[in-house]
Amino acid sequence: NDSTFTIAESLKNIYVDDENPYYVSNNGVLYTKNYEELVCYPMYHEGTDYTIHARTKLIRSYAFKNCEYLRNVVVGSYLEVVGVKAFEGTELKTIKFNSLYPPISTGEEIFNLENVDLLVYVPAIAINDYKSNSAFAYLQLNNLHNLSIANCSVLSIFSQPA
C-alpha cells in the first residue's frame, strides 16, 4: 500500500537489511532493490536538499507526503511516472526535472496546490511538453537553458525571481 508510511509521523530514516530481496535503503530513503521505484522519503528525514537516485523511473504515490524539512529536489532523466499526491503536504521551494519528457502522473495532483512559491525547472527543449501536461500546467515552469548553473545538483542556491 503506497500510503503505509504516511502515518509514520516521527520517521526519520528507513533501514533495510542487505539481504532483503525486494527493498534497499539509500541514506535512509526507501527504494525497490533495483532503485527503479522510490517508495518513501521519511517525513522527518533530515536535510533540505535531495537528489533522487539516477535510475529511478517511478515515484510512488505519497512518497514525499508531509516531509517536514525537504525544500529542494532534483529528479533524474529516467523518471517516467509520479504517483498521485507524491509531494502532497511538502513545502518544496524548487524541483528540477532533468527528463526531456514530463513524467506521467497517476493522478492530477502531484504537488501542493497551495504551494504557490514552488519553482519547477525543466529542460528548455521540453518546456512546452511540460506545460501541456495536466500535472504541470498550473505551475510556474522555469527554463533550465537560461540558467548559467543548470547542471548544479543542489537547488538551494537558486533564488526566486522578484
3-state secondary structure 65-108: CCCCCCCEEEECCCCCEECCCCCCCCCCCEEEECCCCCCEECCC
pLDDT, mean of each 10-residue run, the chain (162 residues): 63 94 96 96 94 96 90 94 88 89 80 68 85 74 45 35 42
Q: What is the pLDDT of residue 77?
A: 92
Take residue 68 and report the three cell numbers written for it.
517536514
Q: What is the pLDDT of residue 3?
A: 57
Q: What is the pLDDT of residue 108?
A: 64
Q: What is the pLDDT of residue 132?
A: 83
pTM of the model: 0.81
Residue with cell 509521523: 9
Helices (H), the chain: 127-132
Q: What is the pLDDT of residue 113?
A: 55
